[in-house]
Amino acid sequence: HFYLYEKVNIIHLHFIAQLQEAFAAGLLKPGMNVLVDKPKKLVNNVEGLKQCLADFRKDLPWVERLDLTNLPAANIISQAEEKASAPAAGELDADDDFQREMFFYRQAQATILEAMPLLNRHSIATKRPEDYFAEMAKSDQHMQKIRKKLISKQMIMERSEKAKKLREQRKFGKKVQIEVIQKRQQEKKAMMSAVKKYQKGMTDKLEFLEGDQKMNKESSQGSKKAVNKKGPSAKRKYKDQKFGFGGKKSGKKWNTKESYNDVSGFRAKIAHGKGGKKGKGGKQNKRPGKSVRKKMKNRS
């Protein structure tokens, strides 16, 4: 510990001595003198590298080395899709994982395509015969694990596909069911109104009874067009306009500023009590009052 302190002291003294010398020589100027690092120079001894390579290189026949240098093979997929994403080797984006791995894959492919004829020439086999059993780099147990994982992945995908399809089917089935129910309700309504009309004596034709049979024949032809000729009723239209399409939306404020200030529905005459009824002929079939009906009943 003591020794280190001394050493540091000595270095300091040496440094100070240097400064004193510089000052005496007139090299130091007044003011702050800051130590500046020399810009770091990186070694690139091209000559040395080449020399080293020449010394180190072993001139072995290709059969010993089995090395090839090539660009990746043509990208069939991108050619088929005519994608303009054919980067030269210099533009390979290391961050785009898929592109990068495809690049490596194609480089290996190009090597193989080039190497096959060469290997055949040197009578080196690439295919292992069926009865040749030898130790593999990965054990059979490991390969089983891999196979199981692949199978499980496939099953999961299949299951999710099936679930999706089922969901779609159910939605479709529900839609069809709703349509059928609505159609039946409409028919019932039509029938009931026809019956009522007959009861009240508005029409004396009993065609509506056979109407079903006739309707069934005509329905497929063109009556579907005539069903909704008038579209939504006036009441429906008014409600749509007031509350928005698709029905009244929950939570919508009723007494907003706009609705309060809106005086379009103000009729001065009615407000002052002068409007009165629409005149005579409001209802043609005015239903008699309770007492009159009772009298009628008692009479009959």
DSSP state of 89: G
Closest approach, Cβ 233 to another protein, in A, equals 44
Phi-psi region of 31 (alpha: psi -120 to 50; beta: other; left: phi over 0): left
- Six-digit token pair at 53? 């390579």
Q: In sequence order, what are the residues at sequence separation of 6 or more whose Cβ sits closer than 8 angstroms to the Cβ of residue 116?
A: 126
User: What is residue 165's three-state secondary structure?
Assistant: helix
Closest approach, Cβ 40 to another protein, in A, equals 9
On whether the CB atoms of residues 73 and 110 are closer than 8 A, the answer is yes
Q: How many CB atoms lie within 10 A of CB 103?
A: 19
On whether the CB atoms of residues 37 and 73 are closer than 8 A, the answer is no
Q: Which amino acid appears at position 167 of this protein?
A: R
Looking at the Cβ atoms of 235 and 274, the one nearer to another protein is: 274
On whether the CB atoms of residues 68 and 114 are closer than 8 A, the answer is yes
d(CA 83, CA 76): 11
Looking at the Cβ atoms of 110 and 215, the one nearer to another protein is: 110
Closest approach, Cβ 139 to another protein, in A, equals 9
Question: Which of 151, 120, 227 lies closest to 182, judged by CA?
Answer: 227
Question: Sign of the CA dihedral 74, 77, 82, 83?
Answer: negative
Closest approach, Cβ 121 to another protein, in A, equals 13
Structural element, H or E, at residue 99: helix 97-121
Closest approach, Cβ 106 to another protein, in A, equals 9
Looking at the Cβ atoms of 58 and 299, the one nearer to another protein is: 58
Q: How many CB atoms lie within 10 A of CB 191?
A: 15
Looking at the Cβ atoms of 69 and 250, the one nearer to another protein is: 69
Closest approach, Cβ 125 to another protein, in A, equals 5
On whether the CB atoms of residues 103 and 72 are closer than 8 A, the answer is yes
Q: How many Å from the N-terminal Cα to the C-terminal Cα in the chain?
A: 133
Residues of this chain that interact with another protein (CB under 8 A) are: 42-46, 48-50, 52-53, 56-58, 60, 63-71, 73, 89-90, 92-95, 100, 103-105, 107-113, 115-116, 119, 123-128, 134-138, 142-143, 145-146, 149-150
Looking at the Cβ atoms of 100 and 293, the one nearer to another protein is: 100
Looking at the Cβ atoms of 92 and 163, the one nearer to another protein is: 92
Closest approach, Cβ 91 to another protein, in A, equals 10
Looking at the Cβ atoms of 27 and 60, the one nearer to another protein is: 60
Phi-psi region of 281 (alpha: psi -120 to 50; beta: other; left: phi over 0): left
Closest approach, Cβ 114 to another protein, in A, equals 9
Looking at the Cβ atoms of 107 and 219, the one nearer to another protein is: 107
